[in-house]
Homo-oligomer: A and B are copies of this chain.
Amino acid sequence: MRSFLAITKALNDQTRLRTLLALRGGELCLCQLVELFGLAPSTVSKHVNILHEAGLVDRRKEGRWAYFKLAGREAPPAARRAIRWITDCLAGDAVVVGDETKLNCVMEQDLDELCECYS
């Protein structure tokens, strides 16, 4: 019950739902999510940490960068079903579609340039 509540808690926030949808296309680094959402890095870091604790997102460190992606096969079934549920239900949502568009622009930028902007 506790681990399941961690999942529902993680899903109970628009930014975290948008994060999961944004990660459909593959892994992203924190600064890309910061750019996408226009939030403070500390805020986004907290959000992805909650998603990670719930088992919905895997994290990977490479040098200074932290990459996040949707949980893979080894994730608990409840988490994987949650991911399928929300990606199916929100696939055509206006906010999500807007994020896709903006994410395409963000992905075109070099990581170094991107990160210099917000500090």
Listed in ascending order, the chain A residues whose CB lies under 8 Å from chain B are 1, 4-5, 8-9, 11-12, 14, 17, 77-78, 81-82, 85-86, 88-90, 93-96
A11, A90, A95 — most chain B CB neighbours (10 Å): A11
Partner of A14, one of B5, B17, B85: B5
For the residues of A in contact with B, the DSSP-based class is: helix
- Distance A96 CA – B2 CA, assembled complex (angstroms): 12
Q: Which of B4, B77, B86 contacts A90 (CB 8 A)?
A: B4
| Cβ–Cβ contact B14 & A96, under 8 A | no
Most B C-beta atoms less than 10 A away, residue of A9, A89, A95, A96: A89
Q: Cβ of A77: which chain B residues have Cβ within 8 Å of it?
A: 89
